[in-house]
């Protein structure tokens, strides 16, 4: 069966019935929900001091499994596009986020990373040529502030290199997300194969980086094997397949803000599994972040006093 168009991209996104968009949004949200488990899995199951190795095992095996299952390789210009997207969305993102996590308190690093929806809002105008949306930009700021209230502690310290790495990581994912929306994906390629291209490209990029920075891989015991398996299957193969399916079907601004779910899930797991607590200020921030996520799933309100023009697509 073939898809009705040559590419699945930004054209026509968000035009489906509200019920259809709701189900797509729910499925897409499973990806950042799975990514939100990374912190507790890393701290409780994996050997310490090897975050890049964890990122490598999260990406490359899952990508190779996806390629084996789908038996679909890029063609023509898609070899280069898949490499660029894989580096931006995975290969470059992981080291930058790990640098931020090492040099900043976890809450500060998570808040810096949460700036990604704001970057996507700007890139949607410059790269996708969408009209500026004050609605999504405002709620994006609210969402970042909400995440900050949830995860930043009273004694948070700042580090210039850590802040720069966190912002660069957010920018890398924002650009990767925007280019994914702009380029779409070939009609004959499903989201699992598309995710496999990028996971493999990102994993290949991480191989020399990991060897140079961390050296010999650590010993892997049973808990670590379970943790790596979870990160690779749930956080890699399944999550990225759902994520790229959502990117193709939904407005890019609505998808980008779903990333805010990751630090919220990490905070909840900290309470449930690690005995941490959420105070009143954190609960307010939690509510603000959830409100921002919900609000940005709604279509932007047209400006008053001006007719809303539509153009054939």
pLDDT tens string 151-186: 776 655 667 888 888 889 889 999 999 999 999 999
Place of tokens 């020399």: 208
Q: Please choose, from the candidates 76, 96, 99, 73, the residue with its C-alpha nearest in 3D space to the C-alpha of residue 198.
A: 73
* Average pLDDT estimate for 45-74: 92
pLDDT at 12: 42
Give the confidence band of 20 by pLDDT, cuts at 50, 70, 90. low
Give 186's DSSP letter. B
- The H-assigned helical ranges of 215-302 are 222-232, 239-249, 252-257, 261-274, 280-295
pLDDT at 311 over 70: no
Give the confidence band of 238 by pLDDT, cuts at 50, 70, 90. very high
The reported pTM is: 0.82
pLDDT at 291 over 80: yes
pLDDT tens string 67-93: 999 999 999 999 999 999 999 999 998
What is the rounded distance in angstroms from the CA atom of residue 259 to the CA atom of residue 268?
A: 15
pLDDT tens string 41-50: 888 898 888 8
278, with CB counted inside 10 A (0-12, 13-18, 19+), is: middle
For the chain, the 3-state helix, strand and coil shares in percent, each to the nearest 5, are: 70, 0, 30
Give the confidence band of 196 by pLDDT, cuts at 50, 70, 90. very high
pLDDT at 258: 92
What is the rounded distance in angstroms from the CA atom of residue 254 to the CA atom of residue 241?
A: 17
What is the rounded distance in angstroms from the CA atom of residue 42 to the CA atom of residue 224?
A: 9
Give 90's DSSP letter. I
**Segment among 99-103, 121-125, 229-233 with least mean pLDDT:** 99-103
pLDDT at 11 over 50: no
Q: Which two tokens stand for residue 101?
A: 């996590």
HSE toward the beta carbon, residue 45, CA cutoff 13 A: 18
Residues in Cβ contact with 83 at an 8 Å cutoff, skipping those fewer than 6 apart: 201
What is the rounded distance in angstroms from the CA atom of residue 83 to the CA atom of residue 96?
A: 18
pLDDT at 310 over 50: no
DSSP string, 282-306: HHHHHHHHHHHHHHTTSPPPPPTTS
Q: Which two tokens stand for residue 296?
A: 């940005």
* Average pLDDT estimate for 43-63: 89
220, with CB counted inside 10 A (0-12, 13-18, 19+), is: middle
Place of tokens 């140079």: 212
* Average pLDDT estimate for 32-54: 86
Residue 93, Ramachandran bin (φ over 0: left; ψ between -120 and 50: alpha; else beta): alpha
Give 7's DSSP letter. B
Give 238's DSSP letter. I
Per domain, the residue ranges of the chain are 25-295
Given a contact cutoff of 8 angstroms between Cβ atoms, the answer to whether 66 and 191 are in contact is no
Span between the terminal Cα atoms of the chain, in Å: 24
Give the confidence band of 197 by pLDDT, cuts at 50, 70, 90. very high
């Amino acid at each position: 069966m073939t898809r009705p168009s040559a590419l699945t991209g930004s054209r026509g996104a968000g035009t489906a019935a509200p019920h259809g968009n709701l189900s797509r949004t729910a499925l897409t949200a499973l990806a950042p929900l799975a990514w939100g488990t990374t912190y507790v899995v890393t701290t409780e199951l994996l050997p310490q001091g090897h975050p890049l190795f964890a990122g490598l095992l999260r990406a490359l095996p899952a990508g190779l499994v996806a390629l084996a299952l789908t038996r679909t390789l890029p063609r023509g210009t898609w070899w280069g596009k898949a490499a660029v997207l894989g580096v931006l969305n995975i290969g470059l993102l992981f080291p930058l986020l790990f640098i931020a996590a090492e040099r900043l308190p976890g809450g500060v690093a998570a808040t810096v990373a949460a700036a990604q929806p704001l970057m996507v809002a700007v890139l949607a105008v410059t790269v996708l040529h969408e009209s500026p949306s004050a609605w999504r930009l405002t709620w994006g700021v609210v969402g970042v502030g909400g995440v900050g209230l949830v995860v930043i502690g009273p004694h948070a310290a700042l580090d210039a290199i850590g802040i720069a790495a966190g912002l660069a990581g957010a920018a890398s994912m924002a650009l990767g997300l925007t280019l994914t929306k702009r380029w779409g994906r070939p009609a004959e390629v499903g989201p699992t194969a598309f995710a496999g291209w990028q996971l493999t490209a990102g994993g290949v990029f991480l191989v020399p980086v990991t060897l140079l920075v961390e050296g010999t891989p650590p010993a892997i015991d049973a808990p670590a094997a379970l943790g790596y398996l979870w990160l690779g299957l749930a956080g890699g193969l399944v999550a990225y397949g759902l994520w790229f399916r959502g990117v193709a079907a939904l407005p890019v601004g609505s998808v980008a803000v779903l990333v805010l779910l990751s630090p919220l899930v990490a905070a909840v797991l900290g309470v449930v599994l690690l005995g941490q607590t959420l105070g009143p200020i954190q609960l307010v921030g939690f509510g603000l972040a959830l409100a921002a996520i919900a609000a940005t799933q709604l279509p932007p309100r047209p400006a008053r006093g001006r007719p809303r023009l539509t153009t054939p697509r």
